[in-house]
């Protein structure tokens, strides 16, 4: 019988991962695939919380570079994460999983407000919880929101699903000698400014000793393998 290494996880999905080969928006095939991957972990009895980015719809940092006020741009980005959260909720429930979306910005008609105790109770009851709108404050990325929520719900690990296999010694697209780094430390990521997550998120994870695993979402079965303790992607820890 396959057993999970973790009882409770937080999965961070980038908005870009939901685009597939499109240049914008949500790919129906990709979100269906993601729901199937999450179901494979759910079937192991793992409690799953998810934070989704909004970069496939709107990126606040990019907009602020075009002379838009950063706070306004970030609030627009938060609303984009809610669109993704609701789409993912629909896909998960079609796979037979009870799901709750909680928002850091009040929008009672479409999502619950973020209440920590309620979120934990949902997880204990076997529901998947999706956290939308980041931290609810501008200037903080969804990476930082993922670490914050992961720490608040006492997740045992944060899984960062990306479009690459993990961290490399060099850029694998331009250097054929680049090797995958299987294990590294928070300090190394900060010192070398590796672009796996923003520095605030890494610092927060380090301060609270929350392990991070960076892996490729596109490889079928990767989420389940990581949860079962297999050496997939890059593990960042103390």
Output the pTM of the full model: 0.92
Going through the chain in order, the beta strands assigned E by DSSP cover: 8-13, 47-52, 99-103, 112-113, 128-132, 157-162, 167-168, 180-181, 183-185, 212-216, 234-237
Phi, psi of 14 (to 5 degrees): -80, 150
Query: Model confidence at 106, in pLDDT bands (50, 70, 90)?
Result: very high
Q: Report residue 68 as tokens.
A: 């838009």
Residue 87 has pLDDT above 80, yes or no: yes
Q: What residues form DSSP beta bridges with 180?
A: 168
Q: What is the pLDDT of residue 8?
A: 97
Residue-wise pLDDT tens digits, 158-211 = 999 988 888 888 777 777 888 888 999 999 989 988 878 889 999 999 999 999
What domains can be seen in the chain, in order of their start residue?
8-237 (3.40.1160.10)
| CA-closest candidate to residue 155, choices 67, 96, 63, 227 | 227
| CA-closest candidate to residue 43, choices 223, 238, 235 | 223
Query: Model confidence at 90, in pLDDT bands (50, 70, 90)?
Result: very high
Please return the burial class of 60, using the count of CB atoms within 10 Å of its CB with bins 0-12, 13-18 and 19+. buried
Residue-wise pLDDT tens digits, 8-25 = 999 999 888 888 888 788
Query: Model confidence at 84, in pLDDT bands (50, 70, 90)?
Result: very high
């Amino acid at each position: 019988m396959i057993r999970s290494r973790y009882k409770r996880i937080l999965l961070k999905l980038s908005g870009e991962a939901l685009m597939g080969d499109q240049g914008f928006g949500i790919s129906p095939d990709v979100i269906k695939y993601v729901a199937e991957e999450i179901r494979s972990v759910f079937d192991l009895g793992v409690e799953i919380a998810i934070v989704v980015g909004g970069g496939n719809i709107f990126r606040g940092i990019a907009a602020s570079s075009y002379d838009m006020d950063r706070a306004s741009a970030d609030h627009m980005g938060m609303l984009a994460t809610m669109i993704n959260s609701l789409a993912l909720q629909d896909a998960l429930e079609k796979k037979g999983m009870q799901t709750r979306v909680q928002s850091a910005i009040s929008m009672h008609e479409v999502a619950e407000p973020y209440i920590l105790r309620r979120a934990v109770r949902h997880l204990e009851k076997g529901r998947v919880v999706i956290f939308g709108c980041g931290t609810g404050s501008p200037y903080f990325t969804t990476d930082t929101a993922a670490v914050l929520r992961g720490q608040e719900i006492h997740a045992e690990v944060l899984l960062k699903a990306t479009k690459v296999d993990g961290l490399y010694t060099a850029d694998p697209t331009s250097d054929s000698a680049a090797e995958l780094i299987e294990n590294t430390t928070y300090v190394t990521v900060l010192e070398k400014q590796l672009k796996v997550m923003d520095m605030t998120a890494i610092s927060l994870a380090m301060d609270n000793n929350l392990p991070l695993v960076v892996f490729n979402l596109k490889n079928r079965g990767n989420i389940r393998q990581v949860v079962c303790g297999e050496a997939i992607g890059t593990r960042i820890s103390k």
